[in-house]
Amino acid sequence: MGALAIKNVTKTFGDTQILKGINIDIESGEFLILVGPSGCGKSTLMNIIAGLESPTTGEVCIADRAVTNVAPKDRDIAMVFQSYALYPTMTVRQNIAFGLETRGIAKAEQNEIIARVAKMLQMDHLLERKPAALSGGQRQRVAMGRALARNPKLFLFDEPLSNLDAKLRVEMRVEIKQLHQRLKTTIVYVTHDQIEAMTLGDKIAVMKDGVIQQFGRPQDIYENPANLFVASFIGSPSMNFIPCHLIEHDGELGVSLQGMASPYFISLAGRPNLRARLGEKITLGIRPEQLDVAEAQSSALECKVKITEPTGPDTMVYTEVNGVEVIARVHPRLVPPTGQSIKLVLDMKKVVLFDPVTESRI
């Protein structure tokens, strides 16, 4: 069953088109992440799903029902806002009860629901407090509780964790994931944090400038980014992009990489659609963990260690290839001292190629 379908939605404010034809379709129970840089239109799309804004053109369906002209309250949704949006003069209990009251739910049932939600989110002791007397994390919890109380078809989360500190953010992230696994309600979740996107989502829609750049499962997007933007946005540290020329060497197509020693040729044989680009510039994309320290004898790309950044399990080694900075994620035991050379090999199966002009995947 389709939980949410967005069909050709555009939104124009004044003269500027903020959303340029959005299409999304997710199944019931799925966790959809909308991710993208600030100002790309995530909140606008969210407001359109919620019915707080109406699309300029296009259509929104929730649970197989066209709701484009349905008021927010009749869409059977609940939303958690970035600023929490708690009602400041009401206690936590009243905050949760407000929506139930407007829906004409009897007092006894309200109390039952509040008790259930408070237990689920472990906030019984907060019920009689006002929002001003809560910490950021507790406010976040209350905002989620208010959404959960209604048991809607669709949860909307607009950057719910962005005001929390790093540790709390990780905790809440896990909690949200557990909650989703337990309740199995469809969730649309906006973030600009790619780690949240990767860890939480069943599906990710990567947005930029009001256009969905790629829509798919997190692992697919990570391994097969559709273009340079998606490749650089997803993953931390970001994918390395090495500018190269496509050349032919001993009858094989490939590129040459220049570290600190002689150029190192890597073969791109067997990849389709390359022959026509012979002699042209291409961008080679490789993630830091797809670069590894070479075994003693094998031929490798030799480059100079400029900076090392130990993270604990791995160490980030900053080097230079073809004039650009390249980061390799290697085992700490294999890292030579700064200033010395390191021999790297590339995991050729994972390497991706981009057209430097159109920025799309080759």
Ligand X SMILES: Nc1ncnc2c1ncn2[C@@H]1O[C@H](COP(=O)(O)OP(=O)(O)OP(=O)(O)O)[C@@H](O)[C@H]1O
- Interface residues with another protein (CB under 8 A) are 47, 50, 52, 71-73, 77-79, 81-83, 85-90, 98-99, 102-103, 146
Residue 275 binds which entry of ligand X, another protein, Mg ion, none, CB below 5-8 Å type-dependent: none
Counting contacts by CB under 6 A, is residue 192 touching ligand X? yes
Counting contacts by CB under 6 A, is residue 55 touching ligand X? no
Counting contacts by CB under 6 A, is residue 38 touching ligand X? yes
The tally of CA atoms less than 13 A away on the side-chain side of residue 219 is 0
Nearest to another protein of 94, 199 (CB atom): 94
Residue 83 binds which entry of Mg ion, another protein, ligand X, none, CB below 5-8 Å type-dependent: another protein
Nearest to Mg ion of 37, 310 (CB atom): 37
Of 298-357, which residues contact ligand X (CB under 6 A)? Answer: none
Minimum gap (Å) between residue 277 Cβ and another protein: 49
Those residues with Cβ within 8 angstroms of residue 298's Cβ, 6 or more apart along the chain or in another chain:
345
43, 47, 110, 227: which one contacts Mg ion (CB under 5 A)? 43
8, 23, 27, 39: which one contacts ligand X (CB under 6 A)? 39
- The verdict on whether omega for the bond into residue 237 sits within 30 degrees of 0, i.e. cis, is yes
- What gap in Å lies between CA 144 and CA 128, rounded to an integer? 17
Counting contacts by CB under 5 A, is residue 47 touching Mg ion? no
Nearest to ligand X of 201, 288 (CB atom): 201
Residue 50 binds which entry of ligand X, Mg ion, another protein, none, CB below 5-8 Å type-dependent: another protein
Spatial strand order of the sheet with 240-249 comes to 264-267, 252-257, 240-249, 281-286, 352-354
Nearest to ligand X of 40, 327 (CB atom): 40
Angle (deg, nearest 10), helices 107-120 and 92-102:
130
The tally of CA atoms less than 13 A away on the side-chain side of residue 181 is 7
Nearest to another protein of 19, 147 (CB atom): 147
CB 344 within 8 Å of CB 328: yes
- For 345, the enclosing helix (H) or strand (E) is strand 341-346
Residue 98 binds which entry of another protein, Mg ion, ligand X, none, CB below 5-8 Å type-dependent: another protein
- What gap in Å lies between CA 256 and CA 18, rounded to an integer? 41
Binding window for ligand X (CB under 6 A); candidates: 23-31, 32-40, 270-278, 304-312: 32-40
- What gap in Å lies between CA 310 and CA 307, rounded to an integer? 10
- Beta bridge partners, 26, equal 4
Counting contacts by CB under 6 A, is residue 43 touching ligand X? yes
- What gap in Å lies between CA 285 and CA 305, rounded to an integer? 20
The distance of Cα 109 from the centroid of its chain, to the nearest Å, equals 38
Residue 44 binds which entry of ligand X, Mg ion, another protein, none, CB below 5-8 Å type-dependent: ligand X
Nearest to another protein of 85, 183 (CB atom): 85
Minimum gap (Å) between residue 248 Cβ and ligand X: 44
Counting contacts by CB under 5 A, is residue 213 touching Mg ion? no
44, 138, 140, 290: which one contacts ligand X (CB under 6 A)? 44
| Torsion sign (Cα): 246, 247, 249, 251 | positive
- What gap in Å lies between CA 221 and CA 361, rounded to an integer? 12
Minimum gap (Å) between residue 329 Cβ and another protein: 39
Report the interface residues with Mg ion, using CB under 5 A.
43
